[in-house]
Structure 1
Amino acid sequence: MISDLYPVLPVVALCLFLAAIAAPVFLPRLADLPGRLWPLPLVASVLFFLWSLHALAEGGLGGVWAEHVRNAWGNQVWFDLLMAVGLAWVLLLPRIKRAGMRPLPWLLAVAATGCIGLYLMLARCLYLEQRRSGAA
């Protein structure tokens, strides 16, 4: 039953991605609200975690690695994920430090879970920034 969604879910994810990156460009007022938007990366992280549990149940612990070493496209996806998560980490690191977050636990979470930890880190950072601006 869930496997019937496999061809559809990448299209849904693409649409959500395009909406997320286009919204701040076409709706500039969203750029003024990042602190209030902290629940969005939190929800994204939880949903992706749940999907990851499904993938883990279906493919086992070795499933991720098997996909990345299968062929050139699997390698390319792995490289792309590492580059994107690394870039996001480098860009968010100064911000999480300013928010009072300790980097090491978040580095471990991101290294272990990829985007799940990254989105949780972003949600926490946005929350702390909102709380700080509300207190100021």
Structure 2
Amino acid sequence: MKSFFLLCGICFISQFGYAQSTDNEYDKALADSLEADQYGMKIYVLAILKTGETKIDDKEKVNVLFRGHMDNINKLVEKNKLIVAGPMVENEKNYRGIFILDVKTIDEAKELVKTDPAISSGMLAVDFYNWYGSAALPVYLETAKKITKENH
């Protein structure tokens, strides 16, 4: 009798596992357009912005550099290269923010951030890492626009 219940349990679990491995909502065209692998993932470049070595005391110059920083962020978003960006709360590592860039290599990411005046001035420095995340991140921006009441 134990064997019967064990066999039934194994059959039930194997059927349950099989049901989870197939997905009727899979959209091959969408997956291909987002360059998703079989897991719905892809490689991005994660850039961690941190306080740079250049200290600028002139508040007006700092404001100009950060306005250029925000303009550059918007430009990279329009080019579909910047998928996620945002500041970090104050922390002991002096991390200031992150970018997730939709590029294949760290060298491509370095070229893109050179256009940021806060980075090129040395006020901000950047560490780069390859990051494996959901290929659906680019479509997150469409939703973000719909829920953002006021731009910075």
TM-score, length basis structure 1? 0.25
Q: Which has the higher strand share?
A: 2
Higher CA-based Rg: 2
